[in-house]
Amino acid sequence: MATATLSEVMIPRSKALAGRVALITGASRGIGRAIALELASRGATVAVNCRSNLVRAAEVRDEIESAGGTSEIFQGDVSEGLGARSLIKEVFDVYERIDVLVNNAGITRDKSIRKMTDGDWTEVIDTNLNSAFYCTSAALPCMIERNFGRIINVASFVGQAGNFGQANYAASKGGLIAFTKVLALELAKYNITANVIAPGFTATDMTERIPLEVMEQIKQRIPMHRLALPEEIAKAAAFLICDGDYITGQQINVNGGIYM
Ligand SMILES: NC(=O)c1ccc[n+]([C@@H]2O[C@H](COP(=O)([O-])OP(=O)(O)OC[C@H]3O[C@@H](n4cnc5c(N)ncnc54)[C@H](OP(=O)(O)O)[C@@H]3O)[C@@H](O)[C@H]2O)c1
């Protein structure tokens, strides 16, 4: 087997994803936005998905384009099979390929199990877990055809450790971790890797809602005593996508030490 030359190893960071198309679900804000910008900075063409927030999605697209990148908005609700599958088709119709899929869209509907309704449960499972199945299964044929794919599922430390008031969310993220391992097993032969990024508490709209006093308690629980920045999560995703050719079925915890 031939080894890489120095010039191959030293591909500039900005070129690593040149010619690749990356779809990031839920890329209008927070972690998805940061991943979209990070992948664009490495040369990827970025399909920015959002459910409804077209203004924020347009800001992400404009930021990419003003830095010389290529990006387009694809609005669609990935919590429904129909919405997710037509999203994948629309991206494919425009770019004729999807090399990187980041299943990032997610929501919380926190309540103790005694108060949790069927709706709270189903909405979170549909958005955080079923969406990943819909998008991945729809994107697979074009990845298999090209013998290349990088799938990142954005889970959470809550899917590993559990968290009070988050039975629905923990189940969705734990399911995502198990789902990723099966993808890794089944798809390795097509040069498609599947990995999990498991963030800890991260400074986004999702954590903005947490009352101040609760947030202080949370910070005390985190060995690094602060939330992650979305950009810190994005760097780990970019590492797996750009440099993780032989990494599959793994979880990278970017959590300040809250779960080891
Ligand atoms: N923040 C944290 O502390 C933290 C920690 C661990 C894991 N995570 C995970 O990281 C991911 C991103 O979280 P975040 O904090 O960045 O969230 P966020 O700031 O609330 O952003 C959520 C994103 O998901 C999109 N979205 C929600 N439902 C959707 C649907 N049905 N179809 C398409 N897009 C949908 C939203 O689109 P619109 O703007 O159109 O609504 C938005 O772009 C989630 O999976 C979350 O569970 C977050």
| Ligand 1 center from residue 28 Cα (angstroms) | 9
Tracing tokens 């800001």 back to the chain, one arrives at: 59
Is 50's C-beta closer than 6 angstroms to any atom of ligand 1?
A: yes
Query: Within 13 Å of residue 259, how many CA atoms lie on the same side as its CB?
Result: 17
User: Residue 260: pLDDT above 70?
Assistant: yes
Give the confidence band of 19 by pLDDT, cuts at 50, 70, 90: very high
Tell me the average pLDDT across 194-219: 96
Domain extents in the chain: 14-254
* 72 neighbors 92 (Cβ within 8 angstroms): no
| Ligand 1 center from residue 102 Cα (angstroms) | 12
Tell me the average pLDDT across 102-112: 98
Report which of residues 92 and 11 the model is more confident about: 92
Is 156's C-beta closer than 6 angstroms to any atom of ligand 1?
A: yes
Tell me the average pLDDT across 187-204: 98
Tell me the average pLDDT across 147-174: 98
User: Residue 93: pLDDT above 90?
Assistant: yes
- Strand arrangement, sheet containing 149-154: 71-75, 45-50, 21-24, 100-103, 149-154, 192-199, 251-254
| pLDDT-wise least confident of 10-24, 47-61, 64-78, 80-94 | 10-24
Report which of residues 73 and 12 the model is more confident about: 73
Quick check: pTM over 0.75?
A: yes
| Ligand 1 center from residue 75 Cα (angstroms) | 14
Q: Which amino acid is present at 138?
A: A
Residue 70's pLDDT is: 98
Tens digits of residue pLDDT in 223-237: 999 999 999 999 999
Q: Is 246 a catalytic residue?
A: no
| pLDDT-wise least confident of 5-9, 112-116, 136-140, 151-155 | 5-9
Is 79's C-beta closer than 6 angstroms to any atom of ligand 1?
A: yes
Is 32's C-beta closer than 6 angstroms to any atom of ligand 1?
A: yes
| Separation between Cα atoms, residue 48 and residue 99, nearest integer Å | 14
User: Residue 1: pLDDT above 70?
Assistant: no
User: Residue 61: pLDDT above 80?
Assistant: yes
CATH superfamily of 14-254: NAD(P)-binding Rossmann-like Domain (3.40.50.720)
* 203 neighbors 228 (Cβ within 8 angstroms): yes
Report which of residues 8 and 90 the model is more confident about: 90
Coarse DSSP helix, strand, coil percentages of the chain, rounded to the nearest 5 percent: 50, 15, 35
Please name the residue whose Cα sits nearest to atom 1 of ligand 1.
202
User: Residue 180: pLDDT above 90?
Assistant: yes
Residue 15's pLDDT is: 85
Is 256's C-beta closer than 6 angstroms to any atom of ligand 1?
A: no
Which of 63, 78, 65 is CA-nearest to residue 24?
A: 78
| Ligand 1 center from residue 96 Cα (angstroms) | 26
Average pLDDT in the chain: 96
Residue 9's pLDDT is: 66
Q: Quote the strand ranges of the chain, DSSP E.
A: 21-24, 45-50, 71-75, 100-103, 149-154, 192-199, 251-254
Tell me the average pLDDT across 111-129: 98
Pocket perturbation via mutation, ligand 1, pick of 23, 24, 28, 31 by most ligand atoms within 8 A of CB: 31
Among the listed residues 169, 190, 246, 259, the single catalytic one is: 169
Coil, helix or strand at residue 39: helix
Residue 5's pLDDT is: 75
What are the distances in angstroms from CA 70 to CA 112, 147, 206? 43, 23, 28
